Each structure stands twice: as structure tokens, then as C-alpha cells.
Structure 1
Amino acid sequence: QTLARYERRLAKALAQVVNILDPQVIVLGGGLSNIERLYDRVPRLWAAHVFSDVIRTRLLRNVHGDSSGVRGAAWLWSEN
């Protein structure tokens, strides 16, 4: 039940991102991104909350593991 509640809440939150930004892709990061069922269920759930008949946004797993966000932040660091 807890995981199903998390999926519903994540779907609602990501639907707002889709509504505002209309991204091509949303990439999940962090430890919970390792839950395989999110990538199937969340897009099906967000459809009810997106204000469009056509949703092209894809939900993808990160490529570099659950520390991808930290890796990206490190790349933004400037020595200047």
C-alpha cells in the first residue's frame, strides 16, 4: 500500500512538471529510482492529471546509477 501511494503521489507531481514544462524525458534519480515498477505504473497514473490528450514525455531510469544527481552537480562545479 505504501508503494502504491508513493506511485500515485509521484505521478501527480510529475504530471505537474509535464503540464508546465512539457519535457521530452523525465529521468529519475536516487535510491527509489531502482524500483522497476515505477517506470511502468507512474506514466499510466500521470495520464489522468496531464492537461493534454497526447503525452509524449517518457519516464526513464538514470544511466549512471542512483548517484547521477550528485555526479551532475559535480560537473557544474567551476574552479574559477
Structure 2
Amino acid sequence: KTRFQQLTSGKSRLLSATIAVDEAREAYYSEEQSTKLGVTSLEDLLLSEILLTRSEINKIKIVFDLQQARIWLDYVVGN
């Protein structure tokens, strides 16, 4: 992919990743409440936390890739 294509596709990937983080965060908080009430196990809560952490890491990687593409385009254009 060209840097411009990376930038363009990166924006949609970032939106998807943001939604995934929001959903994972919501699932984690729901699982946390269920664990406090004794409805689910601590293992379920920890698995939910792992999924949240992975989605946050994925989003960070996407932001990093976007920044690299922007920097490269600025360099090429001369900004």
C-alpha cells in the first residue's frame, strides 16, 4: 500500500478500533458488576479485562501507523 492508502484506510480502521474499545470497555464493566454480585466468576472478569486490553493495544497500534503515514506524507510534500 502507498502511504496515502495507509492513511485513508487507517482512518476507517481507527473508527472500528474505537468502537471495539468502547464495546470491550462496556463488556468489562458489565462483567465487573456481575462478578461483584457473584453472578460470574473472577476468571470471566479477567478474560473480559484481557479483551479490553487487547482492543486498546490494537487501537494504539493503529494510531501509531496513522501518525507514521502522516509524517511520511508531510515529509514528501515538504511540510
TM range (shorter): 0.3 to 0.5
TM-score (normalizing by structure 1)? 0.34
Q: Which has the higher helix share?
A: 2
Higher strand share: 1
Q: Say which one has the larger Rg.
A: 2
Q: What TM-score does the superposition give when structure 2 sets the normalisation length?
A: 0.34
